[in-house]
Structure 1
Amino acid sequence: MAAAPAAPVTPASESVSAPKQASRPAAKPRLKRSADAATGVRPKREPMSKVDTAWLRMERPTNPMMITGVLMFAEPLQLAQLKKIIQQRFLSYARFRQKPVENATGAQWVDDEHFDLDWHVRLSGLPGRPGKSSEKRALERFVSNLASSPLDPTKPLWQFHLVERYQGGSALVARIHHCYADGIALVQVLLSLTDTSREPKPSARLDKAWLKHEAAPVARRVGAMQRYMKLGGKALEQGMAMMQDPSLATLLAKEGGDIAKELVHALALPDDPPSMLRGKLGVSKRVAWAEPLDLEEVKAVGRACGSTVNDVLMAAAAGALRSYMLERGEPLDGMTLRATVPVNLRPLEHAKKLGNHFGLVFLELPVGEGNPIRRLQRVADCMNQLKNSRQAIVAFGLLAALGMAPHPVPELALEMFSRKASAVATNVPGPQQPLYMAGSELRDIMFWVPQTGSIGLGLSILSYRGQVHFGLIADARLIPDPDAVVRRFGEEFERLLYLTMMGSWELPLDADAAFALLQETAST
């Protein structure tokens, strides 16, 4: 598959805006068959895993396969400081000095003999006048342009863009291709660039600090690791067996039982219903993020409603989409949309190994349900069913099979599965203590994973320092004003919080009574 075009090159010291969107894919580099003419030494290369190859092949001009993150600092961060951190910590992962090269038999990681740190770590500036709201809008536009611009396939597929002056501090935009690792792992890689104090001691164990108590919540929310640990690793072995066997018929005969049922179920899912969230995609992305929520308040709503934090947040996201779609005249009676949700299949302390180790499940978003409490109950019911399914391990095996299959099989399969959902949704728990980079306090953090195939909407949730951050990335043709969606996220949560506070703490919250109370309050 031809790779997407490279972003234009600008000097590292120049203050620039985001690169312009390229319009035509460039040819992918091919492996050299002979030794380098200057040194006589062939560059080091190693095979790429089949799952990582699948994500490399999913690259499209309409959906670049990048994970994009924004780190906002309370104090200014200098370019020289950032480069030093990238050199010492980010590049301690040897993989980030390598670029993926695809040929007829698969893909390989190849050392970049002309690696240039100045090209990968850039200084950028935002246009417009200073001011909290105007600077936020300018940064959102800047990130939108970067999220729309594919990385240069002739170099390692990652870049950092430092905005030195942002709301009294600085902002750092990171772009890393999905073939290097999944979103959960790459968030941990970004956090590994930080410290837990302004002046860390040389002996500080950073990994113990930012991974503490984090692996279990991820597993509980998506129903993966606890289940697979109880199975004694059997499920992961099944996934690896699927990776080795691209034949669907052999797979069904070999695995049978629950795995086969889950596969048949996934293939039999009907396409998501037509809506304004589906349509022909363009090459421009739009991103926005909301004001953070208090994590303790989210937990309180979850306890009152007998649901998890993840259930509450996804229900609020569904409510925000519902409100936005209704305002634009979309008929929603009884409509349910699906979102694909990544399921982590390894402990976070193994993130340093990089690679993609996750499956996918289909979460139902009941946008046609007007009752906020009933909407939450439906999301919780769906999530509970997913916890007892093997959808994630089936998806992991299918991704591996796609990485082995010849063209055009991956394209056809990707299109088929992407029609079954209207969004990608991720929820990653971050550290709850303050973090610092080169002495600058990390104030906020947000990230977005790429959308696949014909999906044009991504929902991202990340918790940090007792707050929950919600962000959205969308195809500009589908949602040109994502800020109109993200501001509704807080409003929908406030409705849930209000109903929780008004209900009885001794009895389960009655959805119909709560909704009647909400309507009565709104009419007065």
Structure 2
Amino acid sequence: MKSQHSQQSQHSRPTQSPDLLAPLDLAFWNIETAEHPMHLGALGVFAAGSPGDAQHAAELLAARAAGVPGLRMRIRGVRIPVGGAAREPVPDFDPLGHVQLAQPTADFHAAAGALMERPLDRARPPWEAHVLPGADGTSFAVLFKFHHALADGLRALTLAAGVMDPMDLPPSRPAPAPEAPRGLRLPFPGMRDLRLGDLDPRKLPGLVRESASSAVTALDIGASVVRATLDVRSSPAFSSHPTGTRRTEGVVLELDDVHRVRKSVGGTVNDVLIAVVAGALRRWLDERGDGSEGVRPRALIPVSRRRPRTAHPQGNRLSGYLVKLPVDEGDPLARLRSVRRAMDHNKDAGPQRGAGAVALLADHVPPIGHRIGGPVVAQAARLLFDILVTSVPLPSLGLRLGGCPLTEVYPLAPLAQGQSLAVAVSTYRGRVHYGLVADAAAVPDLDVLATGIRAELADLVRACEAVERPV
């Protein structure tokens, strides 16, 4: 009897609901191939006091990673819903398999490009940290790689910060624990996470209206995507046959110069940073002989929909704006005004509308649709936009690893299949850091684009000074 009662208690014990991937996470998981990985990265450069600091940093990363729960999570398929996937902790997690100490190098970006080519092991927690000792012993770098299904830019920042040196900060109110997925998933966001037995008939009209509104939004986004593909004025330089090769470059600018331009012309810091990309692309196209006349590539500008303290800490919550970069405009101030107008127009419409909000359509696709349609979606990226330009916020506080200060940090965006370039930008301690990622075979001259970014901001500053100078 005792044994039987024990067995009954065991069977009646509630099982923990799986941490199902959000629709957009599932999309990122399914569009990846071994030949075309979909991970994002960040290359941080640290000042070293001695040649042994790099090895000490690798040891610290491995030791601290064991204590960060998000780094123990792997992704596996589930039976229900069909085609879905979930995160689960790995019981025998070994951080030594994720942290590697490389050979000394004189070029951190060359080493990072080679490492970004390698896909992450999908059977393990999909992240890696590579410690790159500097050849001169005065610095080292750490390349973090995270699969986009495990973390977006903000979440990746949180995970990376978890292995940095602790800082003496005032305690912050913890974010509430995410609600575990429950019940039957219904087709529209307004009717998700409901159990049919809990459905209040009095709420049904409101749910129906919300679902209908959601369907109208999806149709509006779809129509905007179609319209955005009709008047495309791009250049073959922005597309390429995927080779799986990667090249990275980094550019550092002074934030004071960006603020000087912003105060002179108006708009936002982000407007200036995007306009700098447009001017640099113009220089790059002209330098390589492709020409910039009549070229207005569509830039996808991701917009985070994550709300502080309330959003799911792991799921991607992204929308975006689609902006035609005025690469064909010769005057740097006119380029900036054009970018500002386009961004203002997108902000007035909101991140729920327009072709840039295409990521929201992932919510309207069942899990099995993501699994079957993943390869098709991956191929369609070049039809939707020409280049990704994303911004990743960083804390203004100085970060350290093993007592070594972080001096530079370059965000590295995933490169969409069929595209040759992706740009990510962050501000850190009074400086702007551009991280450039390219298909190495299609863009052997990525250094020219990096030089163009520096030259474009300098031209904007001079143009603003000329306007302000009294006659």
TM-score scaled by structure 2? 0.80
Cα offsets for 1:392-439 (capped at 9, x unmatched):
564343123346215543433443343121111111232333222221
Structure-2 residue corresponding to 1:491: 455
Cα offsets for 1:166-195 (capped at 9, x unmatched):
550221111111101111221233234335
Structure-2 residue corresponding to 1:55: 28
Which secondary structure state, in structure 2, belongs to the residue aligned with residue 146 of structure 1?
A: helix
User: 1:75 Cα deviation (Å)?
Assistant: 1.8
Q: Does 1:363 align with 2:363?
A: no
Of residues 450, 462, 467 in structure 1, which corresponds to 2:414?
A: 450
Which secondary structure state, in structure 1, belongs to the residue aligned with residue 238 of structure 2?
A: coil
Structure-2 residue corresponding to 1:170: 140
User: 1:284 Cα deviation (Å)?
Assistant: 0.2
Structure-1 residue corresponding to 2:87: 109
Query: Taking structure 1 as reference, are residues 360 and 414 closer, same or farther at Cα in structure 2, changes over 3 Å only?
Result: farther
User: 1:388 Cα deviation (Å)?
Assistant: 1.6
Of residues 339, 362, 368 in structure 1, which corresponds to 2:299?
A: 339
1:358 counterpart letter in structure 2: L
Cα offsets for 1:196-235 (capped at 9, x unmatched):
7xxx55xx34869xxxxxxxxxxxxxxxxxxxxxxxxxxx
User: 1:251 Cα deviation (Å)?
Assistant: 9.5
Cα offsets for 1:472-502 (capped at 9, x unmatched):
1011232112111111101010000001111
Q: Does 1:474 align with 2:442?
A: no
Which runs of structure 2 are paired with 1:434-449 in the superposition (5 Å)? 434-449=398-413
Tell whether the 8 Å contact from 2:217 to 2:352 is kept in structure 1 after alignment.
no
Of residues 91, 94, 115 in structure 1, which corresponds to 2:69?
A: 94
Measured in 2, the distance between the counterparts of 1:504 and 1:297 equals: 15
Structure-2 residue corresponding to 1:286: 247
Query: Taking structure 1 as reference, are residues 93 and 353 closer, same or farther at Cα in structure 2, changes over 3 Å only?
Result: farther
Of residues 103, 114, 125 in structure 1, which corresponds to 2:103?
A: 125
Measured in 2, the distance between the counterparts of 1:315 and 1:189 equals: 31
Structure-1 residue corresponding to 2:38: 65
Measured in 2, the distance between the counterparts of 1:491 and 1:285 equals: 24
User: 1:56 Cα deviation (Å)?
Assistant: 0.6
Deviates more, 1:338-347 or 1:258-267: 258-267
Which secondary structure state, in structure 1, belongs to the residue aligned with residue 25 of structure 2?
A: helix
Query: Taking structure 1 as reference, are residues 299 and 140 closer, same or farther at Cα in structure 2, changes over 3 Å only?
Result: same
Measured in 1, the distance between the counterparts of 2:191 and 2:246 equals: 34
Cα offsets for 1:278-299 (capped at 9, x unmatched):
1212110110012x21112201
Cα offsets for 1:252-304 (capped at 9, x unmatched):
944366664344212331164342111212110110012x2111220110111
User: 1:340 Cα deviation (Å)?
Assistant: 1.2
Structure-2 residue corresponding to 1:465: 429
Deviates more, 1:155-164 or 1:76-85: 76-85
Structure-1 residue corresponding to 2:47: 74
Structural RMSD (CA):
3.2
Measured in 1, the distance between the counterparts of 2:87 and 2:215 equals: 35
Which secondary structure state, in structure 2, belongs to the residue aligned with residue 335 of structure 1?
A: coil
User: 1:63 Cα deviation (Å)?
Assistant: 3.1
Tell whether the 8 Å contact from 1:301 to 1:496 is kept in structure 2 after alignment.
yes
1:172 counterpart letter in structure 2: V
Measured in 2, the distance between the counterparts of 1:319 and 1:242 equals: 45
Measured in 2, the distance between the counterparts of 1:279 and 1:445 equals: 28
Cα offsets for 1:23-78 (capped at 9, x unmatched):
xxxxxxxxxxxxxxxxxxx9995422222111111213453111111111112534
1:461 counterpart letter in structure 2: V
Structure 1 spans left out of the alignment, 5+ residues: 1-41, 128-134, 209-237, 508-524
Structure-1 residue corresponding to 2:336: 376
Structure-2 residue corresponding to 1:513: none
2:108 counterpart letter in structure 1: L
Tell whether the 8 Å contact from 2:66 to 2:93 is kept in structure 1 after alignment.
no
Structure-2 residue corresponding to 1:139: 108
Structure-2 residue corresponding to 1:317: 277
Structure-1 residue corresponding to 2:255: 295
Which secondary structure state, in structure 1, belongs to the residue aligned with residue 391 of structure 2?
A: strand
User: 1:102 Cα deviation (Å)?
Assistant: 2.7
Query: Taking structure 1 as reference, are residues 207 and 327 closer, same or farther at Cα in structure 2, changes over 3 Å only?
Result: farther
Query: Taking structure 1 as reference, are residues 297 and 80 closer, same or farther at Cα in structure 2, changes over 3 Å only?
Result: closer
Cα offsets for 1:76-108 (capped at 9, x unmatched):
5344554445544x4444232121123653112
Query: Taking structure 1 as reference, are residues 158 and 333 closer, same or farther at Cα in structure 2, changes over 3 Å only?
Result: same
Structure-2 residue corresponding to 1:255: 214
Structure-2 residue corresponding to 1:399: 362
Query: Taking structure 1 as reference, are residues 326 and 67 closer, same or farther at Cα in structure 2, changes over 3 Å only?
Result: same
Measured in 2, the distance between the counterparts of 1:151 and 1:81 equals: 22
2:130 counterpart letter in structure 1: H
Measured in 1, the distance between the counterparts of 2:55 and 2:190 equals: 46
Measured in 2, the distance between the counterparts of 1:242 and 1:295 equals: 45
Measured in 2, the distance between the counterparts of 1:483 and 1:387 equals: 33
Tell whether the 8 Å contact from 1:402 to 1:410 is kept in structure 2 after alignment.
no
Query: Taking structure 1 as reference, are residues 114 and 365 closer, same or farther at Cα in structure 2, changes over 3 Å only?
Result: same
User: 1:155 Cα deviation (Å)?
Assistant: 1.2
Tell whether the 8 Å contact from 1:302 to 1:312 is kept in structure 2 after alignment.
yes
Of residues 265, 275, 285 in structure 1, which corresponds to 2:224?
A: 265
User: 1:323 Cα deviation (Å)?
Assistant: 0.6
Tell whether the 8 Å contact from 2:30 to 2:370 is kept in structure 1 after alignment.
no
User: 1:114 Cα deviation (Å)?
Assistant: 3.7
Query: Taking structure 1 as reference, are residues 455 and 330 closer, same or farther at Cα in structure 2, changes over 3 Å only?
Result: same
Structure-2 residue corresponding to 1:183: 153
Tell whether the 8 Å contact from 1:286 to 1:481 is kept in structure 2 after alignment.
no
Structure 2 spans left out of the alignment, 5+ residues: 1-14, 174-186, 195-208
Tell whether the 8 Å contact from 1:288 to 1:482 is kept in structure 2 after alignment.
yes
Count of aligned positions: 418
Measured in 2, the distance between the counterparts of 1:417 and 1:161 equals: 29
2:286 counterpart letter in structure 1: L
Which secondary structure state, in structure 2, belongs to the residue aligned with residue 503 of structure 1?
A: helix
Which secondary structure state, in structure 2, belongs to the residue aligned with residue 463 of structure 1?
A: strand
Q: Does 1:421 align with 2:385?
A: yes
Measured in 2, the distance between the counterparts of 1:451 and 1:402 equals: 23
Q: Percent of pairs identical after alignment? A: 23
TM-score scaled by structure 1? 0.72
